[in-house]
Amino acid sequence: MTRLRTPLALGIIALFVLLALLAPVIAPYDPFQGGQDALKPPLSPGHLLGTNHIGQDILSQLLHGARVSLAVGVSAALSAALIGALVGSLAGFFGGWVDGVLMRVSEFFQVLPRFVLALVIVAFFGSGTLKLIVVLALLSWPQTARLARAQILSLREATFVDAGRLSGMKPLQLITREILPNALAPVVIAGSLDIASAILLEASLSFFGLGDPNTVSWGFMLNFAQAYLRQAWWMALFPGMAISIVVLTFNILGDALNDALNPRLRETV
Amino acid sequence: MKKLTRRTFLKVSAGGAAAAGLAACTPAAPAAPAATAAPAAATAVPAGPARGGTAVIVMDSDPDTLNLGVTSNYSSGDVGAKLYNGLIWVDTNFGIKPSLAESWTISPDAKVYTFKLRQGVTWHDGKPFTSADAVYTFQEILGKFHPRSQALVKRMKSIEAPDANTLVITLVDPYAPLLLQLNVFEAPMLPKHLFDGQGDVLKNPAGLKPIGTGPYKFVEWTKGASVKLARYENYWEKGKPYLDNLVFPIIPQAANRGTALETGEADFLASFYLPLTDVERLSKSDKLNQKRGIAFPAIYFMMMNNATPALAKKEARQAIAFAVDRARIITQANAGIGRIGRGPFGDGFKWLLDPAVDYSKMYPRDVAKAKSLLDAAGVAAAADGTRAKLRLVVDSARAPFVTAAQIIKENLKEIGIEVEVQAVERAVMTQKVYTDRDYDLTLQSFVSSGDPAIGYHRLYVTTTTRVASTNATGYSNTVVDGLFAKAAVTPDQGARAALYVEAQKILADEMPTLVLYDDDTVNFASKKLAGVFGAIDVRDRWEDVSLTK
Amino acid sequence: MWRYILKRLAQALPVVLGVIVFNFTLIQLAPGDPVTLLVGDYPATEEYTRQVRADFGLDQPVPVRLARYLEQLARGNLGFSFANRMPVGELIAQRFGPTLMLMLTALGLAILIGIPLGVIAARNRGRLSDWVAQVGALAGYSTPDFWMGQLLILIFAVALGWLPSQGMRSARSVATGMQATLEVFPYLILPAFALGFRYIALLSRITRSAMLDALSADSVMGARAKGLSERRVLIAHVLRNAALPIVTVIGYNLGLLIAGSALIETVFSWPGVGRLLFDSISKRDYPVMTAILMMVSITVVIANLITDLVYAALDPRVRYAR
């Protein structure tokens, strides 16, 4: 079972990515196209998963929503990983005030939960997909940076680094050629988990009505579904399931990577 | 879902003639000859309603404060109307009835109002209510801190108390809506002895532990959970109120409010707090009574910024009127509640309607016509078919507006206008629309407050100040301004109607703002409650409410 | 130890100060004027608007407000909420109880359910039950809690009618004291589950992996070699060693629970601090917002400190070193 995890997770992710990419082609309707056929239950003619309160096709919205969720999750996590790895390795390598500043900044992010910060920032400055990515990336990098820093600290004194130093490599070369590749494992794992949490965060913000109404996102679908919970359960059920499945898949992937790359880090979730 | 506005809502007007026959009381017009209201006619109920029991009234959020003299917050008014009294109250036909003022006379020049105050009225702490309280309330509290009444008090030259039971208000100029505006929501009487010399009025503890003269006294306010009141045994209307307790649970989640009513957990749900999506389901309940349409008229509309190049020509704005599917907005965004916008003033005031002003004939949904009008306006299509990109700003907390925006986006796409919906928080919306006018289209609503001169002129009149809840379109037409100014001082309703019809014809043609629909309030009460819906404002007059077994 | 505690708290001060400054910076940058929300929805006169602004000190530039705020804070005054028109301290005190109740119940559920699940999974490592438990835990961890809350309402309140869907007690209740506290219980179940769900999942995962680590430790081998019963090995050695990471995770998540409760409190109309935070943000009620963010950060600091102390108590090898 365990051996099947990684291919299974990758397979599901690939499927979602494929569905997201092909959404314009395979979605039966324009996700914004509503009409008089409002609140039709699943399995209605022409609407496999039903329609919402303004007659938009749930299936088409789900497919297009995958684009937003994946784009937000992956871009935010990727940017966070890049910034975090860079800052973390600089801090770990040079120590001193660079390290001090980093540690203070990351402490700040530790005591104020990401969701709260995101809530405040998005409520104040409005949301758009790009803004959301930036906010999520800004809120996620310190974690990665701490991980990278810890890894670098333990690697700094490793023998192969010493060898590099003796052979006259410059600090930057040392970082990029010797240390970073070795410190990458925890960053990749954190990145995979970051995707999951970014998708969840986007959904939570949209649920609070802070999503971008110009895109179809799963969280935004849930926001509308709230008022129709009693009349149209399908408006809430499908996007909620989609979020759970995608987040679950990325978490499983993170888990599998964790076991494969770094058995010692097992307890960091 | 909240209607009209999220935080503050003034249901009872700044006065004025309402559709239902207060024609003589138009603003600035001399009032009818010195009128004396009859003392509270104790309409004797044969057997007398049952006494006792607790009624549960749903609210959506904590009141701002329970000092009703410094707020126009809807929830504050909900609780406050039971804690305090005004000098008068307003019945369902817009009739002005005596409350703390037993009777009054108006001087022939309509400037001096002499009120005879009720005797034997006590505050909940036992102290007597006198004219000194009234004078203090007007001068030191309402005149300084009430969002709307401070403007009213400015119209008063003097407020005097010749004796303990007489109050004389002298106006600078005649102002007929005065009486209407002395209701509990805009002029609640407050105890001088708790405020005088007690420092900052806004921070006075009476805002948290209020003392009034109303039928119910304060018991407890658990923030975020509930407010509790109990019968005031020494209420001046003997034998009332009938209920032992009132409880106002705070239920922020809209869907939960309807459920609370269905399960019997709550007894009363006012239109203001009612999620429209629940109306259909609640209507089917055999445990609930439903009351529609008691309230002052209110309209929901889309302002169009004339400063936006694509909207500068009236043909372009007309095109939008042809394109927007207003019937669908009512059905899908508003759960079918509302009357389709008939013209620039809606259809709430029957006396100023005219066959010549009717959107349904002037602007039936017609995509082809809309496109040709855009061509005429010079809003031409680019290679990809896009004619213009417009930003539609809405308050993100108003779910029906966010949904309506989706529908409008879809409608306008058909005529080549790409809409970017900006759902922002109310504070940001106000700044974008009214202060910065950094918008193209926006969904808003205004309440008439009983007269177009009070509530609707502000939507179309030339406006240069950047104040919230005014005309933010930049539309300016001196002819319309002139017609409005004249209508405001014309006493005769027929003559006023003619002026308004003329103005509406111009406005319907130039289309600075597209009226989407008229408010149609729906309130629900448990069938066990008797005597509710006695006043124009469903929050008022709960002293007559009783529980049947 | 006291020196260590004091030192840790002193270190936290700049962070809390940072939270306040961050807040005021955001307020400075944020669009939207709170005064427009205070003057009602009828065109307000300029004079009135100006007066309201002055009454709440909003006419001052933000740096001045920050200085005043810090000055008041030093005297233990959290400021005055202009949206609620009452002192912030009082307001938060009223709303903190319900949040604490919800949080502790959720945490209790997580411990009572999550840890045994983890133990069972670890003991059945590699078997189907382990695999099911693991995927189940991950699924729980991956489900949006507000959505879970909605499902719980749909199933247990609407469809089955077993539990109330919202609030903290019946509006008609006249109970006081102990009776009133007991009445909260049925209202607490659904929100506590919705909030605790993720933590049940989290704890069972942590417990499982900590157990596996501990099971392979030398001391356990030794104990087994000595012929101790499996049950005693499990309790005396394995659980004891596994306790460290479990405590860590509980501690580090305690502070975050306050934030997480904002969504759950909204879904269930629970009168707590989380919802107050959300309201204060949309009303631009800066004093309340600042105070809650500060409170969250202090809670996290203290929770972390307590965690470290417990950690040290459980494992004498850990010294108060930093």
Q: What pLDDT is attached to residue B59?
A: 95
Look at residue B531 and give its three-state secondary structure: coil
Average pLDDT over residues B298-306: 97
Q: Which two tokens stand for residue A248?
A: 């679950």
Q: Within 13 Å of residue C297, how many CA atoms lie on the same side as its CB?
A: 27
Whether A116 sits inside 8 A of C32 (CB atoms) is: no
Measured between CA atoms, the residue of chain B closest to residue A38 is B332
For B164, phi and psi rounded to 5 degrees?
-65, -20
| Chain A residues touching residue B395 (CB < 8 angstroms) | none
State whether residue A10 sits within 8 Å of chain B by CB.
no
**Non-local CB neighbours of B391 within 8 Å, separated by 6+ positions:** B419, B420, B422, B439, B440, B441
How many beta-carbon pairs under 8 angstroms link A with C? 131
In a domain, A132, yes or no: yes
Q: Which residues of C touch A116 (CB under 8 A)?
A: 259, 262, 277, 293, 296
Q: Per this entry, what is the length of chain B? A: 549
Low-confidence ranges of chain A (pLDDT < 70): 1-2, 160, 179-180, 262-269
Calculate the CA C276 to chain-centre distance.
Answer: 14
Query: Which two three-digit tokens encode residue A202?
Result: 């986007």
- pLDDT for B475 equals 96
What pLDDT score was predicted for residue B33? 39
* 3-state DSSP assignment of residue C200: helix
Residues of B in contact with A210 (CB under 8 A): 396
Profile chain C (322 residues) by mean pLDDT over runs of 10 residues: 83 84 85 82 81 85 88 90 88 90 90 89 85 85 89 86 85 78 89 90 85 76 76 74 76 74 87 89 89 86 81 64 40
What confidence category does residue B47 fall into, taking pLDDT thresholds of 50, 70 and 90? low
Position with higher pLDDT, B171 vs C57: B171
Residue identified by tokens 């987040």 is A247
In A, minimum Cα distance to C19 occurs at A108
Edge-to-edge strand ranges of the sheet holding B245-249: B54-56, B245-249, B226-231, B216-222
Q: Chain-centre distance of CA B338, in angstroms?
A: 16
Name the percent of chain C in helix, strand, coil, to the closest 5. 75, 0, 20
- Work out the average pLDDT over B190-196: 96
What's the CA dihedral at C14, C20, C25, C29 to 10 degrees? 150
Residues from chain B that touch A209, judged by Cβ atoms under 8 A, are 396-397, 399, 402, 423
Q: How far is B144 from chain C (nearest CA, A)?
A: 8
Question: Looking at the predicted structure, is the pLDDT value of residue B57 above 90?
Answer: yes
A163 vs chain C: nearest CA distance in angstroms?
30
User: Which chain A residues have a beta carbon less than 8 Å from that of C153?
Assistant: 229
pLDDT at B25 over 50: no
Contact: B332, A55; criterion CB under 8 Å: yes
Please tell me the distance in Å from A213's CA to the nearest CA on chain B. Answer: 6
Give yes or no for C162 touching B (CB within 8 A). Answer: no
- Give the closest-approach CA distance of C228 to chain A in angstroms: 28
CB C246 within 8 A of CB B233: no
> Which residues numbered 448-477 in B keep a CB inside 8 Å of some CB on C?
449, 458, 465, 467-470
Contacts of A208 in chain C (CB under 8 A): 263, 266, 278
Which letter, b or e, does each residue of B517-540 get, where b requires 16 or more Cβ atoms within 10 Å of its Cβ? bbbbbbbbbbebbbbbbbbbbbbb
Is residue A133 situated within a structural domain? yes
B417 - beta bridge partners?
A: B388
The DSSP secondary structure of C32-64, one letter per residue, reads: --HHHHHS-SS---HHHHHHHHHHTTTTS-HHH
> pLDDT tens, B91-147?
888 889 999 999 999 998 889 999 999 999 999 999 999 999 999 999 999 998 888
Are A194 and A253 a contacting pair, CB within 8 Å?
no
Cα(A73)–Cα(A243) distance, rounded to whole angstroms? 11
ipTM over 0.90 threshold: no
Chain B residue closest in CA terms to A30: B410
**Amino acid occupying residue A195:** I
Angle at CA B324, nearest 5°, toward A216 and B419? Answer: 40
Three-class secondary structure of residue C106 per DSSP: helix
Residue A162 belongs to domain spanning: 58-268
List chains touching C (3+ CB pairs under 8 A): A, B
Number of domains in chain A: 1
Domain assignment present for residue A17? The answer is no
Q: Chain C interface, mutation test: which of B219, B223, B273, most C Cβ atoms within 10 Å? A: B223
Question: Omega before A142 cis (within 30°)?
Answer: no
Q: Which of B311-320, B339-348, C74-83 has the lowest mean pLDDT?
A: C74-83
- Would you call C281 helix, strand, or coil by DSSP? helix
A228 interface with B at CB cutoff 8 Å: yes
- Of these ranges, B255-264, B299-308, B421-430, the one predicted with the greatest mean pLDDT is B299-308
Chain A, nearest residue to B418 by Cα: A214
User: Minimal Cα–Cα distance from A110 to chain B, Å?
Assistant: 28
Q: Find chain B residues with C-beta within 8 A of A61's C-beta.
A: none
Q: How far is CA A252 from the centre of its chain?
A: 13
**Is C271 within 8 Å of B223 when comparing Cβ atoms?**
yes
Task: Judge: B428–A230 Cβ closer than 8 Å, yes or no.
Answer: no
Distance from CA of B431 to the nearest CA of A (A): 12
Nearest CA in chain C to A247: C142
Candidates B64, B268, B300: best to mutate against C (most CBs of C within 10 A) is B64
Give the integer Cα–Cα distance in Å for B11 and B306.
30
Instruction: Tell me, yes or no, whether A25 lies in a domain.
Output: no
Report yes or no: B460 and B410 within 8 Å, Cβ to Cβ: no
- Name the amino acid, one letter, at A131: K
Domain annotation covers residue A18: no
Q: How confident is the model at residue B513 (pLDDT cuts 50, 70, 90)?
A: very high
| pLDDT for residue A2 | 62
Question: What is the pLDDT, as a whole number, of residue B14?
Answer: 35
3-state SS assignment for residue B122: strand
For residue C148, the chain A residue with the least C-alpha distance is A240
Instruction: Report yes or no on A23 lying in a domain.
Output: no
**B441-469 confidence digits (pLDDT tens):** 999 999 887 778 878 999 999 998 888 89
Q: Residue B74 pLDDT > 80, yes or no?
A: yes
Res B353 pLDDT > 90: yes
For position A118, which CATH number holds?
Answer: 1.10.3720.10
C-beta atoms of B410 and A53 within 8 A: no
For residue B171, give the amino acid letter. Answer: L
**Better-scored residue on pLDDT, B253 or B1:** B253
Helix (H, G, I), strand (E, B) or coil at C183: helix
Q: What is the dihedral of CA B247, B250, B253, B254, to 10 degrees?
A: 50
The residues pairing with B55 across neighbouring beta strands, listed in sequence order, are B246
Chains linked to B by 3 or more Cβ pairs within 8 Å: A, C
pLDDT confidence of residue A138: 87
Distance from CA of A133 to the nearest CA of B (A): 18
Q: Is residue A185 part of a domain?
A: yes
Q: If you write DSSP's letter for every residue of B392-455 in order, what string do you get?
A: EEEETT-HHHHHHHHHHHHHHHHTTEEEEEEEE-HHHHHIIIIIS---SEEEEEEE-TTSHHHH
Report if residue A37 sits inside a domain: no
User: How many Cα neighbours within 13 Å face the side chain of C167?
Assistant: 28
- The answer to whether the CB atoms of C43 and B427 lie below 8 A apart is no
Smallest CA–CA distance, residue A181 to chain B, in Å, is 44
Amino acid of residue A224: F
Q: DSSP per residue over A34-56, as a string?
A: --S-TTPPTTBTTBTT-B-TT--
Q: Give C150's contacts in chain A (Cβ within 8 Å).
A: 225-226, 229, 236, 240
* Residue B385 near residue B412 (C-beta atoms within 8 A): no
Tell me how close the Cα of C300 comes to any Cα of chain A, in angstroms: 6
- CB-nearest to A33 from B333, B410, B424 is B410
* Candidates A36, A214, A231; nearest CB to B421: A214
- Coil, helix or strand for B350? helix
Instruction: Return the pLDDT at B319.
Output: 97
pLDDT bracket for residue B262 (50, 70, 90):
confident
pLDDT given at position A139 = 85
Give the residue-averaged pLDDT of B340-359. 93
Predicted pLDDT at A265: 42
